[in-house]
Copies of this chain bind each other. A is one copy, B any other.
Protein backbone atom coordinates (compact mmCIF):
# COMPACT_ATOMS: atom_id res chain seq x y z
CA UNK A 1 0.00 0.00 0.00
CA UNK A 2 0.99 3.58 -0.52
CA UNK A 3 1.60 3.62 -4.27
CA UNK A 4 0.43 6.18 -6.82
CA UNK A 5 0.91 5.15 -10.43
CA UNK A 6 1.17 8.32 -12.43
CA UNK A 7 1.17 7.20 -16.04
CA UNK A 8 -1.68 5.00 -17.10
CA UNK A 9 -3.04 4.14 -20.51
CA UNK A 10 -6.49 5.61 -20.74
CA UNK A 11 -9.23 4.26 -22.93
CA UNK A 12 -9.35 6.11 -26.27
CA UNK A 13 -11.80 9.00 -26.40
CA UNK A 14 -13.68 7.57 -29.34
CA UNK A 15 -14.19 4.21 -27.64
CA UNK A 16 -15.58 5.95 -24.56
CA UNK A 17 -17.86 8.08 -26.70
CA UNK A 18 -19.07 5.01 -28.60
CA UNK A 19 -19.79 3.02 -25.47
CA UNK A 20 -21.46 6.04 -23.88
CA UNK A 21 -24.21 5.81 -26.44
CA UNK A 22 -25.47 2.52 -24.99
CA UNK A 23 -27.12 1.48 -21.79
CA UNK A 24 -25.42 -0.64 -19.16
CA UNK A 25 -27.57 -3.71 -19.81
CA UNK A 26 -26.80 -3.61 -23.55
CA UNK A 27 -23.05 -3.30 -22.99
CA UNK A 28 -23.09 -6.06 -20.38
CA UNK A 29 -24.74 -8.39 -22.88
CA UNK A 30 -22.51 -7.27 -25.72
CA UNK A 31 -19.36 -8.26 -23.85
CA UNK A 32 -20.66 -11.73 -23.01
CA UNK A 33 -22.21 -10.91 -19.63
CA UNK A 34 -19.04 -9.82 -17.93
CA UNK A 35 -18.18 -6.75 -15.94
CA UNK A 36 -21.43 -5.80 -14.17
CA UNK A 37 -20.75 -4.31 -10.72
CA UNK A 38 -23.98 -5.75 -9.35
CA UNK A 39 -27.32 -4.47 -8.06
CA UNK A 40 -25.93 -2.98 -4.84
CA UNK A 41 -24.20 -0.03 -6.51
CA UNK A 42 -27.06 2.42 -7.12
CA UNK A 43 -27.19 5.97 -8.49
CA UNK A 44 -27.72 8.60 -5.78
CA UNK A 45 -30.26 10.34 -8.05
CA UNK A 46 -32.24 8.95 -11.02
CA UNK A 47 -31.64 9.64 -14.68
CA UNK A 48 -27.86 9.99 -14.72
CA UNK A 49 -25.75 8.38 -17.46
CA UNK A 50 -21.98 8.63 -17.77
CA UNK A 51 -19.03 7.02 -19.59
CA UNK A 52 -15.34 7.55 -18.93
CA UNK A 53 -11.90 6.11 -18.25
CA UNK A 54 -11.38 4.53 -14.83
CA UNK A 55 -8.98 6.10 -12.38
CA UNK A 56 -8.82 3.60 -9.54
CA UNK A 57 -8.40 4.28 -5.82
CA UNK A 58 -8.20 1.84 -2.91
CA UNK A 59 -9.07 3.32 0.47
CA UNK A 60 -8.93 2.05 4.06
CA UNK A 61 -12.26 1.79 5.90
CA UNK A 62 -13.54 5.26 6.92
CA UNK A 63 -10.49 7.01 5.46
CA UNK A 64 -10.71 9.10 2.30
CA UNK A 65 -7.18 10.45 2.23
CA UNK A 66 -6.32 8.68 -1.01
CA UNK A 67 -9.22 10.35 -2.83
CA UNK A 68 -7.50 13.67 -2.13
CA UNK A 69 -4.30 12.16 -3.49
CA UNK A 70 -6.14 10.89 -6.57
CA UNK A 71 -7.59 14.29 -7.54
CA UNK A 72 -4.20 15.42 -8.82
CA UNK A 73 -3.97 12.40 -11.15
CA UNK A 74 -7.36 13.06 -12.77
CA UNK A 75 -7.85 14.27 -16.31
CA UNK A 76 -10.79 15.37 -18.35
CA UNK A 77 -12.98 12.37 -19.13
CA UNK A 78 -11.95 10.25 -16.14
CA UNK A 79 -14.28 8.48 -13.75
CA UNK A 80 -13.10 7.85 -10.20
CA UNK A 81 -13.55 4.21 -9.10
CA UNK A 82 -13.10 3.82 -5.33
CA UNK A 83 -12.98 0.52 -3.43
CA UNK A 84 -12.47 0.16 0.32
CA UNK A 85 -9.97 -2.48 1.44
CA UNK A 86 -12.53 -3.65 4.02
CA UNK A 87 -16.31 -3.04 3.89
CA UNK A 88 -17.34 0.42 5.06
CA UNK A 89 -20.58 2.38 5.02
CA UNK A 90 -18.89 5.71 5.71
CA UNK A 91 -19.58 8.73 3.51
CA UNK A 92 -16.21 9.09 1.77
CA UNK A 93 -17.29 11.66 -0.77
CA UNK A 94 -19.28 14.87 -0.81
CA UNK A 95 -19.81 18.12 -2.61
CA UNK A 96 -16.37 19.61 -1.94
CA UNK A 97 -14.47 16.75 -3.51
CA UNK A 98 -17.00 16.76 -6.35
CA UNK A 99 -16.16 20.41 -6.95
CA UNK A 100 -12.45 19.60 -7.09
CA UNK A 101 -13.09 16.79 -9.58
CA UNK A 102 -15.58 18.77 -11.63
CA UNK A 103 -13.07 21.51 -12.44
CA UNK A 104 -10.72 18.84 -13.78
CA UNK A 105 -13.39 17.40 -16.07
CA UNK A 106 -14.06 14.22 -14.10
CA UNK A 107 -17.40 12.78 -15.15
CA UNK A 108 -18.51 11.08 -11.96
CA UNK A 109 -17.77 8.60 -9.22
CA UNK A 110 -18.28 4.89 -8.59
CA UNK A 111 -17.70 3.91 -4.96
CA UNK A 112 -18.24 0.59 -3.21
CA UNK A 113 -18.96 2.44 0.04
CA UNK A 114 -20.92 5.55 1.09
CA UNK A 115 -21.47 9.02 -0.40
CA UNK A 116 -23.04 12.13 1.18
CA UNK A 117 -24.32 15.59 0.21
CA UNK A 118 -26.75 14.01 -2.25
CA UNK A 119 -28.87 17.17 -2.51
CA UNK A 120 -25.86 19.28 -3.44
CA UNK A 121 -24.45 16.64 -5.82
CA UNK A 122 -27.76 16.42 -7.65
CA UNK A 123 -27.93 20.23 -7.84
CA UNK A 124 -24.46 20.41 -9.43
CA UNK A 125 -25.20 17.43 -11.68
CA UNK A 126 -22.26 15.35 -10.50
CA UNK A 127 -23.36 11.71 -10.78
CA UNK A 128 -22.38 9.07 -8.20
CA UNK A 129 -23.07 5.36 -7.97
CA UNK A 130 -22.55 4.09 -4.42
CA UNK A 131 -23.45 1.25 -2.09
CA UNK A 132 -24.67 3.60 0.66
CA UNK A 133 -25.83 7.15 1.19
CA UNK A 134 -24.21 8.05 4.48
CA UNK A 135 -23.38 11.24 6.39
CA UNK A 136 -20.62 9.50 8.35
CA UNK A 137 -17.35 11.30 7.81
CA UNK A 138 -13.89 9.86 7.27
CA UNK A 139 -10.38 10.49 8.51
CA UNK A 140 -7.05 11.08 6.75
CA UNK A 141 -4.67 8.72 8.51
CA UNK A 142 -3.81 5.70 6.42
CA UNK A 143 -2.54 5.13 2.90
CA UNK A 144 -4.13 3.18 0.06
CA UNK A 145 -3.20 3.11 -3.61
CA UNK A 146 -4.01 5.03 -6.77
CA UNK A 147 -4.13 3.36 -10.18
CA UNK A 148 -3.56 -0.20 -9.10
CA UNK A 149 -6.31 -2.73 -9.97
CA UNK A 150 -9.21 -2.76 -7.49
CA UNK A 151 -12.11 -5.13 -6.82
CA UNK A 152 -15.26 -2.97 -6.87
CA UNK A 153 -18.74 -4.51 -6.83
CA UNK A 154 -17.04 -7.94 -7.07
CA UNK A 155 -15.44 -7.00 -10.42
CA UNK A 156 -11.79 -6.30 -11.07
CA UNK A 157 -11.32 -2.78 -12.47
CA UNK A 158 -7.99 -1.76 -13.99
CA UNK A 159 -7.01 1.88 -14.44
CA UNK A 160 -7.89 2.92 -17.97
CA UNK A 161 -10.82 0.55 -18.30
CA UNK A 162 -14.04 2.08 -19.59
CA UNK A 163 -16.80 2.63 -17.06
CA UNK A 164 -20.41 3.16 -18.16
CA UNK A 165 -23.21 3.77 -15.64
CA UNK A 166 -26.92 4.46 -15.79
CA UNK A 167 -30.04 3.66 -13.75
CA UNK A 168 -29.38 -0.09 -14.20
CA UNK A 169 -26.01 0.21 -12.44
CA UNK A 170 -22.36 0.17 -13.54
CA UNK A 171 -20.41 -1.90 -16.07
CA UNK A 172 -16.67 -2.06 -16.70
CA UNK A 173 -15.18 -2.78 -20.13
CA UNK A 174 -11.48 -3.65 -20.35
CA UNK A 175 -9.61 -0.95 -22.27
CA UNK A 176 -8.38 -3.32 -24.94
CA UNK A 177 -11.88 -4.54 -25.68
CA UNK A 178 -13.62 -1.15 -25.67
CA UNK A 179 -13.86 -0.71 -29.44
CA UNK A 180 -15.02 -4.28 -30.02
CA UNK A 181 -17.63 -4.08 -27.30
CA UNK A 182 -18.93 -0.78 -28.67
CA UNK A 183 -19.30 -2.45 -32.05
CA UNK A 184 -21.05 -5.46 -30.51
CA UNK A 185 -23.34 -3.13 -28.56
CA UNK A 186 -24.35 -1.37 -31.75
CA UNK A 187 -25.11 -4.69 -33.40
CA UNK A 188 -27.08 -5.81 -30.39
CA UNK A 189 -29.11 -2.63 -30.38
CA UNK A 190 -29.85 -3.10 -34.07
CA UNK A 191 -31.11 -6.64 -33.42
CA UNK A 192 -33.16 -5.47 -30.47
CA UNK A 193 -34.80 -2.80 -32.59
CA UNK A 194 -35.92 -5.53 -35.00
CA UNK A 195 -37.19 -7.70 -32.17
CA UNK A 196 -39.00 -4.74 -30.61
CA UNK A 197 -40.70 -4.03 -33.90
CA UNK A 198 -41.81 -7.66 -34.28
CA UNK A 199 -43.02 -7.80 -30.68
CA UNK A 200 -45.07 -4.66 -31.32
CA UNK A 201 -46.68 -6.53 -34.20
CA UNK A 202 -47.67 -9.26 -31.76
CA UNK A 203 -45.10 -11.83 -32.79
CA UNK A 204 -44.04 -14.32 -30.12
CA UNK A 205 -40.44 -15.18 -29.34
CA UNK A 206 -41.67 -18.77 -29.09
CA UNK A 207 -42.27 -18.77 -32.83
CA UNK A 208 -38.70 -18.00 -33.77
CA UNK A 209 -35.39 -19.82 -33.69
CA UNK A 210 -36.88 -23.21 -33.09
CA UNK A 211 -37.76 -22.33 -29.52
CA UNK A 212 -40.89 -24.48 -29.42
CA UNK A 213 -38.86 -27.50 -30.49
CA UNK A 214 -36.18 -26.91 -27.88
CA UNK A 215 -38.84 -26.55 -25.19
CA UNK A 216 -40.53 -29.77 -26.28
CA UNK A 217 -37.14 -31.53 -26.24
CA UNK A 218 -36.69 -30.41 -22.66
CA UNK A 219 -40.07 -31.90 -21.82
CA UNK A 220 -42.36 -28.89 -21.62
CA UNK A 221 -45.99 -30.00 -21.38
CA UNK A 222 -49.05 -27.89 -22.03
CA UNK A 223 -51.98 -29.05 -19.92
CA UNK A 224 -55.59 -28.05 -19.53
CA UNK A 225 -56.82 -27.13 -16.16
CA UNK A 226 -58.40 -30.52 -15.75
CA UNK A 227 -55.03 -32.24 -15.83
CA UNK A 228 -53.18 -29.89 -13.57
Known: A61-B61, A71-B204, A156-B156. 20 other contacts (CB 8 A): A2-B218, A2-B219, A6-B222, A7-B224, A24-B135, A65-B215, A68-B204, A68-B206, A71-B205, A86-B90, A96-B196, A99-B196, A99-B199, A99-B200, A119-B168, A133-B167, A141-B141, A141-B142, A143-B218, A151-B156
Which residues of A are at the interface with B, using a C-beta cutoff of 8 A?
Answer: 1-9, 23-25, 28-29, 32-33, 36, 38-39, 42, 45-47, 60-62, 65, 68-69, 71-72, 85-91, 94-96, 99-100, 103-104, 114, 116-120, 132-137, 139-143, 147-149, 151, 154-156, 166-169, 171, 192, 195-196, 199-202, 204-206, 211, 215, 218-225, 228
A202 to B42, CA, bound (A): 29
- The verdict on A88 contacting B85 (CB below 8 Å), with A114-B39, A139-B141 known, is no
| A6 CB contact (under 8 Å) in B133, B155, B224 | B224
Instruction: Give the copy number.
Output: 6
